[in-house]
């Protein structure tokens, strides 16, 4: 007969609390070797200690319960290792994002309050291939990439060259409610045949105050803040979507520091910038 230990002793052996052991039992991760039918007390075998320690380490690494269970139930070593490596890669990606956020915050705190260069520009109506869809702020990165891949794919299929840099319109509710009808567009000449989500639309004329953002899209809020302040101090702002023009995009370079984006704020007149 195998040796059994109480849940209290097993807790001390594994550094898992009794509450955690009960939870892992309920989730089907770590079943007790025996449950007393009259008292409900849980008993474990010493041979279950390594499994408990593995679970604790995976949880310390932030692995979701479903993934922990998948690792424990993996049919072979290769499958198990693939799951573990996948989680480690996800952790590395999260670490890189955390480091980027820390660097961004440090730069924001240390940034000087120097003025920005602003150009006033009157933009005529422009025929463009465009995709217009409701998008949440949390989904915008993936949607942006998919939309422009589709737009440029349609243009390649139609053997049509862009008539200018791609752009996007962001309505006020996208920022205020984190959901709005975003328009991704690429100016075109002629009358290319739309397909998929793409439609031939006329992007309306606008009077814009424009500044240039150089660097990652994740830092665009700083340029928005500076340009919005510039417009507000001069009482120039009018209702209308914010525009972005993408001069150098992730399709052109893998180096985010090389991205170039024009941020365009709607204003009520155009005169030479001071």
Q: What is the pLDDT of residues 143-165, one digit of tens each?
A: 999 999 999 999 999 888 999 99
Whether 272 is covered by a domain: the verdict is no
- Cα angle vertex 214, ends 213, 217, to 5°? 75
> What pLDDT was estimated at residue 102?
76
The pLDDT of residue 96 is: 79
Give CA–CA dist 15/3, Å, rounded.
20
Upper half-sphere CA count for residue 62 (Cβ side, 13 Å)? 9
Instruction: Please check whether residues 158 and 236 belong to one and the same domain.
Output: yes
Edge-to-edge, what's the strand order for the sheet holding 167-170?
119-123, 206-214, 260-266, 242-248, 167-170, 179-187, 126-136, 199-203
The reply to whether 68 and 183 lie within a common domain is no
Domain boundary among 49, 73, 97: 73
Q: Report the CATH number that the domain containing residue 171 is assigned in CATH.
A: 3.20.80.10
Which CATH number does the domain housing residue 63 bear? 1.10.1660.10
**Structural domain harbouring 10:** 5-73
Number of structural domains the chain divides into: 2
Q: Domain boundary at 19, 38, 73, which?
A: 73
pLDDT band at 191 (very low <50, low <70, confident <90, very high): confident
- How would residue 273 be classed by pLDDT, with cut points 50, 70 and 90? very low
197 plus 69 within the same structural domain = no
Mean pLDDT of the chain: 89
End-to-end CA distance of the chain: 89
- In a shared domain, residues 127 and 241: yes
pLDDT recorded at residue 274:
44
């Amino acid at each position: 007969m195998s040796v059994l230990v109480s849940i209290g002793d097993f807790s001390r052996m594994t550094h898992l609390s009794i509450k955690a052991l009960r939870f892992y039992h309920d989730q089907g991760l770590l079943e007790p070797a025996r449950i007393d039918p009259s008292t409900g007390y849980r008993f474990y075998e010493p041979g279950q200690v390594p499994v408990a320690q593995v679970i604790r380490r995976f949880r310390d690494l932030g692995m979701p319960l479903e993934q922990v269970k998948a690792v424990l139930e993996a049919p072979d070593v290769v499958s198990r290792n693939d799951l573990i490596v996948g989680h480690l890669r996800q952790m590395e990606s999260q670490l890189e994002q955390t480091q980027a956020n820390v660097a961004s915050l440090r730069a924001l705190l240390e940034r000087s309050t120097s003025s920005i260069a602003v150009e006033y520009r009157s933009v005529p109506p422009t025929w463009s291939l465009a995709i217009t869809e409701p998008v949440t702020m949390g989904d915008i990165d993936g949607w942006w990439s998919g939309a422009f891949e589709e737009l440029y794919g349609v243009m390649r299929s139609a053997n049509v060259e862009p008539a200018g840099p791609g752009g996007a319109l962001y309505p006020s509710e996208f920022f205020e409610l984190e959901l709005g009808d975003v328009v991704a567009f690429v100016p075109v000449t002629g009358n290319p045949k739309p397909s998929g989500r793409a439609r031939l639309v006329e992007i309306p004329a606008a009077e814009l105050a424009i500044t240039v953002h150089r660097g990652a899209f994740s830092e665009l809020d700083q340029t928005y803040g500076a340009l919005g302040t510039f417009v507000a101090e001069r009482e120039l702002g009018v209702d209308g979507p914010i525009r972005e023009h993408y001069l150098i995009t992730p399709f052109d370079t893998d180096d985010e520091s090389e991205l170039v984006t024009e941020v365009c704020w709607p204003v009520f007149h155009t005169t030479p910038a001071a």
